[in-house]
Chain A
Amino acid sequence: MIRFEKVTKKYPGPGRPALDEVTIDIEKGEFVYLVGSSGSGKSTALRLVLRELRPTSGRVYVAGKEINRMAGWKVPRLRRQIGTVFQDFRLLQNKTVSENVAFAQQVIGKSRKEINRVVPETLEMVGLRGTADRLPDELSGGEQQRVAIARAYVNRPMILIADEPTGNLDPTTSVGIMKLLEDINAAGTTVVMATHDHGIVDQFTKRVVELGEGRVVRDEASGSYGFQH
Chain B
Amino acid sequence: MTLRYVFSELRTGLRRNLTMHLAVILTLFVSLTLAGCGILLQREAKVTTNALGSDLQILVNLCTDKDPSLREGNPNCSGGAVTAAQMKQVESVLKQSPDVSAVRYQSQEQGYQIARKLYPADYFSGPTPIIRVQDWPSAFWVTLKDPNKTAGVISAVRGLPGVSHIKDQHEQLGQVYSIIGSLKVGSWIAAVFLLIAALLEVANTIRLAALARRKEIEIMRLVGASTLYIALPFLLEALVTAIIGVALASGVLALVERYGIQNGLADKIHFLPWIGWGDWLHAIIGGWPVGILILGPALTVIPTLLLTRKYIRV
Contact = CB atoms under 8 A, between A and B. Distances in A.
Interface of A: 50, 72-73, 75-84, 90, 92, 103-104, 106-112, 151, 155
Contact of B227 (A76, A84, A92): A76
Interface string B200-238: 000000000000000110111111111101100000000
Contact of B2 (A82, A84, A111, A155): A111
Given A103-B219, A107-B229, A76 B224 contact: yes
A76 B2 contact: no
A79 B224 CA distance: 5
B223 A80 contact: yes
Contacts of A112: 2, 4
A83 B222 CA distance: 8
Contacts of B226: 73, 76, 108
B251 to A, nearest CB: 37
B1 A90 contact: no
B222 A106 contact: no
Contacts of A92: 215-216, 219
Given A72-B314, A106-B2, A112-B2, A78 B224 contact: yes
Given A76-B314, A112-B2, A107 B215 contact: no
B5 interface: yes
A50 B314 contact: no
Contacts of B221: 76, 79
B5 A107 contact: yes
B222 A107 contact: no
Contacts of A76: 221, 224-227, 314
Contacts of B222: 50, 79, 84
A109 B1 contact: yes
Highest count of chain B CB atoms <10 Å: which of A72, A73, A80, A109: A109
13 contacts: A72-B227, A75-B314, A79-B222, A90-B215, A90-B218, A92-B215, A92-B216, A103-B223, A106-B5, A107-B219, A107-B220, A107-B229, A155-B224
- Closest 3 A-B residue pairs measured CB to CB? A80-B224, A79-B224, A107-B225
Nearest to B314: A75
A106 B4 contact: yes
A75 to B, nearest CB: 5
Highest count of chain A CB atoms <10 Å: which of B4, B220, B223: B223
A178 to B, nearest CB: 22
Contacts of A75: 224, 314
B227 A104 contact: no
B158 to A, nearest CB: 74
A128 B218 CA distance: 24
Interface string B1-18: 110110000000000000
Interface in B1-39: 1-2, 4-5
A155 B218 contact: no
Nearest to A155: B223
